[in-house]
């Protein structure tokens, strides 16, 4: 099976702009979670989508939003970018491994906000 | 706030030694526990998970869970330089719940 894919891999934006990141889960996986990773805060949960519905949400401002399509592909959007949004954005799709729901990460999108 | 804490590190061990990585969690309702490895510039990859008290072994890796004391650990036997990475502990409170990650500990294995 192909792994989780994310596009684009790298992105440079300026403050105030918006950005859309895309994630394609492993075939058959219906859950997609998004995380922000920074050196200071580590890996922080943004939100999770399952069957096109947001199932869980982290503590991020409303500038961060997401959606999931019927084919389980997911996008996240960040509006009005701030310098502090510079980070590695990871998505993970969830599937069964030995009876345990397990998350598999994509390669990430590295976002730099100038 | 539900937290997952890992030793601040970094941890340095000689090649062939046992590396012991520890993690504590605050939510007593936590049910599943995961260890991920992340090489510099790469994304996290799952090493193993555990959900029952006791030890679980997979090759050179052993995960240990003690729910009463709210800690989970990862032992790496016969450490190799290729094990040098950041190790992330993650906790879930059950099906359909999110994963909460610790900040990770960086392991360096000296040849």
Q: What is the pLDDT of residues A87-106, one digit of tens each?
A: 999 999 998 877 788 899 99
Instruction: Please check whether residue A108 touches B, CB under 8 A.
Output: yes
Whole-angstrom Cα Rg for chain B: 13
Neighbours of A62 (CB within 10 A): 6
CA distance A75 to chain B (A): 18
pLDDT at A100: 80
Instruction: Please check whether residue A9 touches B, CB under 8 A.
Output: no
Range in A15-19, A55-59, A76-80 the model is least confident about: A55-59
Neighbours of B52 (CB within 10 A): 9
8 Å CB contact of B98 and A56: yes
The CA-atom distances, in angstroms, between A31 and each of A28, A70, A88, B48 are: 9, 11, 20, 20
> Closest partner residue to A106 among B43, B97, B102, by Cβ?
B43
pLDDT at A102: 87
Torsion of CA A79, A55, B97, B21, to 10 degrees: -20
> Closest partner residue to A104 among B32, B46, B100, by Cβ?
B46
Query: What is the C-alpha separation between A11 and B46, in angstroms, rounded?
Result: 26
pLDDT at A47: 94
* Of residues B95 and B70, more confidently modeled: B70
Query: What is the C-alpha separation between A53 and A50, in angstroms, rounded?
Result: 5
Question: Does pLDDT of B70 surpass 80?
Answer: yes
Question: Does pLDDT of B2 surpass 70?
Answer: no
């Amino acid at each position: 099976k192909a792994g989780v894919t994310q596009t684009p891999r790298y992105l440079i934006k300026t403050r105030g702009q918006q950005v859309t990141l895309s994630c394609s889960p492993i075939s058959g996986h219906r859950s997609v979670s998004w995380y922000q990773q920074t050196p200071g805060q580590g890996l922080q949960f943004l939100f999770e989508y399952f069957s096109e519905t947001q199932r869980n949400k982290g503590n991020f401002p409303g500038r961060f939003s997401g959606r999931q399509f019927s084919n389980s592909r997911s996008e996240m959007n960040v509006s009005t970018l701030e310098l502090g949004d510079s980070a590695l954005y990871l998505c993970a799709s969830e599937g069964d491994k030995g009876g345990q729901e397990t998350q598999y990460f994509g390669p990430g999108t590295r976002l730099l906000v100038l | 706030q539900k937290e997952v804490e890992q030793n601040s590190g970094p941890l340095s061990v000689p090649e062939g030694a046992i590396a012991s990585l520890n993690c504590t969690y605050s939510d007593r309702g936590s049910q599943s526990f995961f260890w991920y490895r992340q090489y510099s510039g790469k994304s996290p990859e799952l090493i193993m998970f555990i959900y029952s008290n006791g030890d679980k072994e997979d090759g050179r890796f052993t995960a240990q869970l003690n729910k009463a004391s709210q800690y989970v650990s990862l032992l790496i036997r016969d450490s190799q330089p290729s094990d040098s990475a950041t190790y992330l502990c993650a906790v879930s409170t059950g099906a359909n719940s999110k994963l909460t990650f610790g900040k990770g500990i960086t392991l360096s294995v000296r040849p």
